[in-house]
């Protein structure tokens, strides 16, 4: 049986190691089901952290609408590294170098800085408990008591919403955190009704922050753009850094600026790896 996604072209890219797929579904009415996203990730060479599915924009003025899938098939409202990859993918054959992308987190703007470096305006951080969201009302989300406690995690964290929920823990040495053990426990902590992205941040000299991230629905990743943005906001709110910093992730560096207009801008490189087509075999057993 032929599947609607058989032989569709798909791009494999990365944003400082964050594994990104870009699937252009514009001009069709196809909307990926969670099982289809998981099947794509099972195709050899196409394991991903986020899959960016492009659709025709719903409103005027946008270049495309974007749905973001994690490897487990769940949806994410924001992915800064993925947005940069989409910007490159649409610009590489003479497309616009300034983009407006519709997402579940609102309109995202992106523009080219150089051949492979792009900036994404990630919008305003959400700092109220109901906006992050948290499961209970907390007046000050700068330093939230982690209750119940999780062994191996600090007693306090900072909550930030960047279109998706983030919990930022400041530590003395981010490299010693047992991310594979505490990450899943914190992602599913009862304080986070929609789960959360978990960041362990170490403040370095000269305006730098070392960061390791456990991503909601994905696990440990080499990079997470929205987590880098959330971490800079959390550090600035706590007086641990200024409103600009280089955030150093396992896959590379991102420059994050919390601007005077309250928007967070993220600048970093992208890498195009290859273009292929979707293998019909991975959709066996799924509805056509």
**Looking at the annotation, which residues are catalytic?**
79, 224
Looking up tokens 């003025």, which residue turns up? 61
Secondary structure (DSSP) of 246-285: EEEETTEEEEEEE-TTS-EEEEEE-EEEEEEE--GGGGTT
Residue ranges of the alpha helices (H) in the chain?
34-42, 80-91, 179-187, 225-237
Among 59, 56, 69, residue whose Cα is nearest residue 21? 69
- Going from the C-alpha of 111 to that of each of 10, 127, 153, 223, the distances in angstroms are 22, 26, 37, 20
Q: Kindly give the interhelix angle for 225-237 and 80-91, rounded to the nearest 10 degrees.
A: 130
Other CB atoms within 10 Å distance of the CB of residue 65: 18
Give me 185's structure tokens: 């426990």
Establish how many alpha carbons lie within 13 A of residue 204's alpha carbon, considering only the half-sphere containing its beta carbon. 16
Using DSSP's 3-state secondary structure scheme, residue 34 falls into helix
């Amino acid at each position: 049986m032929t599947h609607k996604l058989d032989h569709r072209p798909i791009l494999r890219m990365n944003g400082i190691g964050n594994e990104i797929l870009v699937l252009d579904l514009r001009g069709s009415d196809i909307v990926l089901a969670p099982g289809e996203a998981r099947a794509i990730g099972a195709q050899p060479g196409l394991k991903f952290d986020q899959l960016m599915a492009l659709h025709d924009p719903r409103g005027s003025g946008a270049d495309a609408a974007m749905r973001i899938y994690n490897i487990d098939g769940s949806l994410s409202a924001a992915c800064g590294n993925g947005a940069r990859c989409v910007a490159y993918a649409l610009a590489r054959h003479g497309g616009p170098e300034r983009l407006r992308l519709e997402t579940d987190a609102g309109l995202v703007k992106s523009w080219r800085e150089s051949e492979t470096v792009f900036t994404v305006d990630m919008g305003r951080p959400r700092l109220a408990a109901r906006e992050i969201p948290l499961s209970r009302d907390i007046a000050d989300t700068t330093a939230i008591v982690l209750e119940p406690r999780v062994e191996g995690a600090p007693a306090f964290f900072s909550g930030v919403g960047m279109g998706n929920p983030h919990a930022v823990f400041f530590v003395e040495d981010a490299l010693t955190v047992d991310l594979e053990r505490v990450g899943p426990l914190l992602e599913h902590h009862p304080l986070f009704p929609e789960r959360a992205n978990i960041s362990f941040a170490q403040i370095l000299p000269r305006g730098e922050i070392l960061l390791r991230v456990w991503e909601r629905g994905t696990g440990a990743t080499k990079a997470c753009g929205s987590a880098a943005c959330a971490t800079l906001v959390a550090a600035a709110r706590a007086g641990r850094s200024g409103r600009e910093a280089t955030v150093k992730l396992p896959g590379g560096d991102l420059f994050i600026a919390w601007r005077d207009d309250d928007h967070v801008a993220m600048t970093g490189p992208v890498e195009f790896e290859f273009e292929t087509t979707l293998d019909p075999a991975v959709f066996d057993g799924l509805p056509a």
